[in-house]
Amino acid sequence: MYRGCEAHRSVNAMTKDKWGNPHSHTSKSAISALESATEQLAAYRGDPVGTIDAALKNDPDFLMGLAFRAGVFATASDKVFEPHLRKAIRAAEPLMAKANDRERGHIGAASAWLEGDFERATELWGKVAIAYPRDLLAIQLAHLGDFFHGHSLMLRDRVARVLPHWDDTVPGHGFLLGMHAFGLEESGEYALAEKQGRKAVAANGQDGWAVHAVAHVMEMEGRAGAGADWLSTTASGWEPESLFAYHNVWHWTLFHFEDQDFDAGLKLYDEKIGKNGFDQALVLVDGAAFLWRLTALGKDVGDRWTPVVDGWAQRVDDGYYAFNDMHAMMAFAATGREDLQSRLVTALKGAAEGDGTNAMMTREIGLPAARGIRAFGRGAFDEAVEYLLPLRTKAQLFGGSHAQRDVLSWTLIEAAIRAGDKSMADALAAERLAAKPRSPLNLAWQKRASGIR
C-alpha cells in the first residue's frame, strides 16, 4: 500500500486529480467529473450519481467512476440499491488488472460491503484514506461506515488522521472540518465540535453535514431555541438542491419537540419532509422516528403514517440493516399492522442467525428493540421496559447518532409511566433532566412520573 506523500512521485505515469490522487484512467474529462461528483456528495447536493453516470457513458472503463457508484449505493444502507452496487462491482472486475492500489482499495471495500461485512468495508476505505489522505471520497465513505456502526470515536479519529494533509488552500477542506465536527460531537467534545462546525459552515454555507454537526451539539446540550434558530438562519445555504435537507429538518422538528411545540414540528414535517415522498430508507428512518415520538406521547398524527408504512412494507423481509428494521417496527406497531410486525420479526430472526455485521447488530440490538417497540404498540408497557432497558448501554452497536438512538430512551420513559412503574419512571426522568435540566419535555415527563400513585 501507499505510504506517505512521497509515494505520489512513484506514480507520475498515472493521471492525477486535483487532490493529487492517482488514476489508472487517463481521461481528464472523466476525472474532472469525478471531482465534481465527489464534492457534490460531500455537500449532499445536486445529483452526484447522475454526474458520474454521464462520465461513465463516455468512459465505461473509468474504474474510479465505478468505485464512486459502488460506494454511494453501499452507504445508502438500503437493500433496494444492492443491485446497483453489485452491477458496479461486476463492471469493475475486468478492469482490476490495470488498477492501482487506491482503486483496488475502493473496489475491495465496496465488495466487502456487498458480502455483508460492513465493518471490513469501512476499515478498507479507512486504509485507502490513510494511504491517500486527500482522497475525499474514501474519507467520506469511511466516515459514513463509522456512522452506520455507531463508532463514535472513529467518526472523530478517522478524520483527525488526515487533517494534517489539508488546509484552506486545498479544495474541500471545509468538508473535512464538518466531518471532524460531527465526530467530535459524537465523542462528547461539544465546544470544539461547534467551533469546527461553524468554521466549516463559514467556509461553505451549503455544507449541510457541517450545519448538521452544529445542530447535534445544540441537541445534546439542550439548547433547543438556539438549535432552531441555527437551522432557520442557515437554511438558505443548505436547503436548496440538498439531498440532506430532510435530515436537517428532522433535527429542526426535534428542537420544537423539546420545547413541546408539537404543532410547529408537524408543520415543518408536512412542508419539508412528508410532501417529498419516502423513496429511500434514510428518509423513511426520519419519517418513522418523527411520527413514533409523537405517537408514543399519545398525539394524533392523522394519516401521516400511511406512506411511511408503505415504504417499510416494501422492505419488511429484507433483514438488511437492523437500525432500519427498528424504525420499520415503529411504523407497523403504531398502525397495528400485526401482519407486518410478524413478518419483520421473522426476518430479524433470520438475519440474527446469519453471518456478517448486520447479524451481530440484529442479535444484540435490532431484534430486542423491535420486540420492545412491538410490545409498546400493543400496550404491553411492562414488557416494553424489559426489552428496552438493557439496550441503551450498547445501542451504539447498531449505528446511528446519539440523537437518533434517544428514541429508545423516549419510548422507555413513556412505557414506564404508562405501566405505572413510579420508581422506574422517576429514575428515567431524573436521568434525562441531568442531561437537559431546562427541557420542557423532560420536565413534563418528570411531572407525570411524580404523579404516579
Cβ-contact 150, 323 below 8 angstroms: no
Three cell numbers at 175? 468538508
Label residue 122 by pLDDT band (50, 70, 90). Answer: very high
What is the number of alpha carbons within 13 Å of residue 419 lying toward its C-beta?
23
Give the separation between CA 385 and CA 422, rounded to whole angstroms.
13
Judge whether residue 7 has pLDDT over 50: no
The overall average pLDDT reported for the chain is 95
Label residue 275 by pLDDT band (50, 70, 90). Answer: confident
Kindly give the interhelix angle for 305-313 and 281-296, rounded to the nearest 10 degrees: 130
Q: What is the mean pLDDT of residues 442-452?
A: 97
In this prediction, residue 43 carries a pLDDT of: 96
Percent of the chain with pLDDT over 70: 97
In this prediction, residue 11 carries a pLDDT of: 39
In this prediction, residue 158 carries a pLDDT of: 97
Judge whether residue 20 has pLDDT over 50: yes
Judge whether residue 323 has pLDDT over 70: yes
Instruction: Name the DSSP letter for residue 23.
Output: E
In this prediction, residue 135 carries a pLDDT of: 98
In this prediction, residue 276 carries a pLDDT of: 86
Q: Would you give the distance in Å from CA 417 to the centre of its chain? A: 30
Judge whether residue 396 has pLDDT over 90: yes
Three cell numbers at 48? 452526484
Cβ-contact 233, 213 below 8 angstroms: no
pTM above 0.85, yes or no: yes
**170-199: per-residue pLDDT in tens?**
999 999 999 999 999 999 999 999 999 999
Q: What is the mean pLDDT of residues 103-124?
A: 97
Cβ-contact 37, 68 below 8 angstroms: yes
- Which CATH number does the domain 1-148 belong to among 1.25.40.10, 2.60.40.10, 2.40.10.10, 1.20.58.340? 1.25.40.10
Number of helices and strands (H, E) in the chain?
24, 2
452: CB partners within 8 A, 6+ apart: 417, 420, 421, 422, 425
Beta-bridge partner residues of 15: 23
In this prediction, residue 2 carries a pLDDT of: 35
Label residue 397 by pLDDT band (50, 70, 90). Answer: very high
In this prediction, residue 300 carries a pLDDT of: 95
In this prediction, residue 95 carries a pLDDT of: 97
**Cα dihedral sign, 152-156-159-160:** negative
**35-79: per-residue pLDDT in tens?**
999 999 999 999 999 999 999 999 999 999 999 999 999 999 999
- Structural domain boundaries in the chain: 1-148
In this prediction, residue 14 carries a pLDDT of: 72
**334-369: per-residue pLDDT in tens?**
999 999 999 999 999 999 998 999 999 999 999 999
In this prediction, residue 9 carries a pLDDT of: 33
Q: What is the mean pLDDT of residues 1-25?
A: 65
In this prediction, residue 4 carries a pLDDT of: 37
Cβ-contact 289, 326 below 8 angstroms: no
In this prediction, residue 434 carries a pLDDT of: 96
Q: What are phi and psi of 122, to 5 degrees?
A: -60, -45
Q: What is the mean pLDDT of residues 230-256?
A: 96
Q: What is the mean pLDDT of residues 418-442?
A: 97
Q: What is the mean pLDDT of residues 268-278?
A: 92
Containing 225, the helix (H) or strand (E) segment is helix 224-238
Which is nearest to 405 in space by CA: 154, 219, 191, 215?
219
